[in-house]
């Protein structure tokens, strides 16, 4: 009878990875990480948008910097999603889910000046770092040191992007 019960539980929750964290921690941290994942995808696409549409006398430098930053953002997506799965949660499955969960706004304007692009990306990266800090605090609350440790590196990367965008957009 016990074997049948365990088999039934696996069928009803086939993606629920075993974890030492409690159910509340798994639910809350997975939700926080999924919100971050949506923001990272949104910021990745905005960064690529600006990379593709940058113009002006500093085109080459801006174009290359934005491409590097987009690559860094994209490289974060898989570790975030995999951490959600390690916790026993499920992660984003579509662009529709991203658009529902993202907190950073899109920019669909036909033309954005390079200065405005850099400022917008700077502010978005700063907001992303703040969201990461909030998620880190949640991880601390539940003693999820693995997620917190990953977040510390991603916060540092976001702050580096803010710094580069600030210095690049600074008027002399």
pLDDT digits over 54-100, tens only?
999 999 999 999 999 999 999 999 999 999 999 999 999 999 999 99
Would 3 be classed as within a structural domain? no
User: How many domains in the chain?
Assistant: 1
Two structure tokens written together for 103: 């907190």
User: What was the pLDDT predicted at 140?
Assistant: 98
Structure tokens at 99: 């658009």
What's the CA gap between 6 and 1, in Å, rounded? 9
- Per-residue buried b or exposed e for 137-157, using 16+ beta carbons within 10 Å of the residue's own CB: ebbeebebeebbebbeebbeb
Q: Does any domain span residue 16?
A: no
Give domain status of residue 97, yes or no.
Answer: yes
Sign of the Cα pseudo-torsion (95, 99, 102, 105, in order) = positive
Specify if 127 maps to a domain: yes
pTM: 0.91
What value, to the nearest 5°, has the Cα angle with vertex 57 and ends 53 and 58? Answer: 70
- pLDDT recorded at residue 34: 98
Question: If you average pLDDT over every residue of the chain, what do you get?
Answer: 94
Percent of the chain's residues with pLDDT above 70: 93
119 Cβ contact list (under 8 Å, min separation 6): 165, 169
Is residue 15 in a domain? no
CATH number where 126 lies: 1.20.1260.10
For the segment 109-135, the average pLDDT, to the nearest whole number, is: 98
Asked if the model's pLDDT at residue 15 lies above 90, the reply is: no
């Amino acid at each position: 009878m016990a074997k049948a019960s365990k088999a039934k539980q696996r069928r009803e929750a086939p993606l629920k990875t075993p974890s030492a964290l409690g159910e509340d921690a798994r639910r809350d941290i997975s939700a926080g990480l999924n919100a971050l994942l949506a923001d990272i995808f949104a910021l990745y696409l905005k960064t690529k948008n600006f990379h593709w549409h940058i113009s002006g006398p500093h085109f080459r430098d801006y174009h290359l910097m934005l491409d590097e930053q987009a690559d860094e953002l994209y490289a974060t997506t898989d570790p975030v999603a995999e951490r959600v799965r390690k916790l026993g949660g499920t992660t984003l499955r579509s662009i529709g889910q991203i658009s529902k969960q993202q907190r950073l706004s899109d920019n669909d304007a036909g033309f954005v000046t390079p200065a405005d692009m850099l400022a917008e990306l700077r502010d978005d990266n700063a907001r992303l770092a703040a969201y990461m800090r909030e998620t880190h605090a949640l991880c601390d609350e539940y003693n999820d040191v693995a997620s917190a440790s990953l977040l510390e590196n991603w916060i540092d990367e976001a702050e580096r992007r803010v710094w580069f965008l600030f210095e690049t957009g600074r008027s002399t």
